[in-house]
């Protein structure tokens, strides 16, 4: 039996790039979607929040000197593009998915309404939350913490390129060791950059644990939802 009935999966936009400089690598998105599809077949209810860095990276040069709020709204639109791509990829592998946006784009995607999102999850659909929180100055990490709390997720799964949180950058320090678990207070004090402090604080206050793991390790997502010793657990 899965260890978690309902999860919030946080993906970075960069996770979709594969080896490309920016944009969406089709084989990469298909592989990630297939990993998620596998856990849905176990009966796990899955919601997803994705960043927009892979899309926004292509226009980042033009954002230099731009008003922060304007740049953040552009980033939200980038997450909508990624969310639509994810939703389409889920449908292609036979998984029903719904994309819900925190900003109104009714002709493209339905608005985020909490009771509707809960209904979709209970029906076994994957729900992809687009446009972050709908507000500038808040990251998609914070959006993941917020949506995770709102839908009653058992855990937030932060999918990264590394297999957890290390004492130092493992690429720069061969002696760096992996934390199997760490408290929210220690993560905030140490200024660990795996998630922003606002997201850590929100999850801490809601007693919502975070698991940091590598989405690029085959089967890692399944192992996490089954309760295996994978990645780093951030807890109260």
pLDDT tens per residue, range 86-130: 999 999 999 999 999 999 999 999 999 999 999 999 999 999 999
Torsion angles phi and psi, residue 50, rounded to 5: -125, 145
What residues does 235 pair with on adjacent strands?
183
pLDDT tens per residue, range 16-29: 887 887 889 899 99
Cα angle 59, 9, 100; round to 5: 65
Model-level pTM? 0.94
pLDDT score at 59? 59
The answer to the question of whether 170 is labelled as a binding residue is no
Residue 1 has pLDDT above 90, yes or no: no
Question: Domain spans of the chain?
Answer: 6-235
* Count of Cβ atoms closer than 10 Å to residue 166 Cβ: 18
pLDDT score at 230? 94
The answer to the question of whether 216 is labelled as a binding residue is no
The answer to the question of whether 166 is labelled as a binding residue is yes
The answer to the question of whether 137 is labelled as a binding residue is yes
Q: Does domain 6-235 have CATH number 3.40.1160.10?
A: yes
Q: In the structure encoding, which two tokens stand for residue 47, read together? A: 């919601």
The pLDDT-based confidence of 162 (bands split at 50, 70, 90) is confident
The answer to the question of whether 18 is labelled as a binding residue is no
3-state SS of the chain is CCCCCEEEEEECHHHHCCCCCCCCCHHHHHHHHHHHHHHHCCCCEEEEEECCHHHHHHHHHHHCCCCHHHHHHHHHHHHHHHHHHHHHHHHHCCCCEEEEECCCECCCEEECCHHHHHHHHHCCCEEEEECCCCCCCCCHHHHHHHHHHHCCCCEEEEEECCCCCECCCCCCCCCCCECCEEEHHHHHHCCCCCCCHHHHHHHHHCCCCEEEEECCCCCHHHHHHCCCCCCEEEEC
The answer to the question of whether 136 is labelled as a binding residue is yes
The answer to the question of whether 22 is labelled as a binding residue is no
The answer to the question of whether 140 is labelled as a binding residue is yes
The answer to the question of whether 133 is labelled as a binding residue is yes
Q: What is the mean pLDDT of residues 193-198?
A: 87
The answer to the question of whether 57 is labelled as a binding residue is yes
The answer to the question of whether 160 is labelled as a binding residue is yes
pLDDT tens per residue, range 214-236: 999 999 999 999 999 999 999 99
The answer to the question of whether 152 is labelled as a binding residue is no
The answer to the question of whether 134 is labelled as a binding residue is yes
The pLDDT-based confidence of 198 (bands split at 50, 70, 90) is very high
The pLDDT-based confidence of 61 (bands split at 50, 70, 90) is low
The pLDDT-based confidence of 63 (bands split at 50, 70, 90) is low
Pick the closest to residue 53 from 16, 103, 9, 101 (CA basis).
16
Pick the closest to residue 224 from 167, 215, 15 (CA basis).
215
pLDDT score at 64? 63
The pLDDT-based confidence of 183 (bands split at 50, 70, 90) is very high
């Amino acid at each position: 039996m899965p260890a978690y009935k309902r999860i919030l999966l946080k993906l970075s936009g960069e996770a979709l790039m594969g080896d490309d400089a920016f944009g969406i690598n089709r084989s990469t998105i298909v592989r990630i979607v297939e990993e998620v599809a596998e856990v849905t077949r176990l009966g796990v209810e899955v919601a997803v929040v994705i960043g927009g860095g892979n899309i926004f990276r292509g226009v980042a040069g033009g954002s230099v000197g731009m008003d922060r709020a304007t740049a953040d709204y552009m980033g939200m639109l980038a997450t909508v593009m990624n969310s639509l791509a994810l939703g389409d990829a889920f449908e292609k592998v036979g998984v029903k998915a719904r994309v819900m946006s925190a900003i109104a784009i009714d002709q493209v995607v339905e608005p985020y309404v909490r009771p509707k999102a809960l209904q979709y999850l209970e029906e076994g659909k994957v729900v992809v939350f687009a446009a972050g929180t709908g507000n500038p100055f808040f990251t998609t990490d914070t959006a993941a913490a917020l949506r995770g709390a709102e839908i009653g997720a058992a855990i937030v799964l932060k999918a990264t390129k590394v297999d957890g949180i290390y004492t130092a950058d493992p690429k720069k320090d061969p002696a760096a060791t992996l934390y199997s678990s760490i408290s929210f207070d220690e993560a905030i004090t140490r200024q660990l950059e795996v998630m922003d402090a606002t997201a850590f604080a929100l999850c801490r206050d809601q007693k919502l644990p975070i698991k940091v793991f590598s989405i690029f390790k085959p089967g890692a997502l399944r192992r996490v939802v089954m309760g295996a010793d994978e990645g780093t657990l951030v807890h109260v």
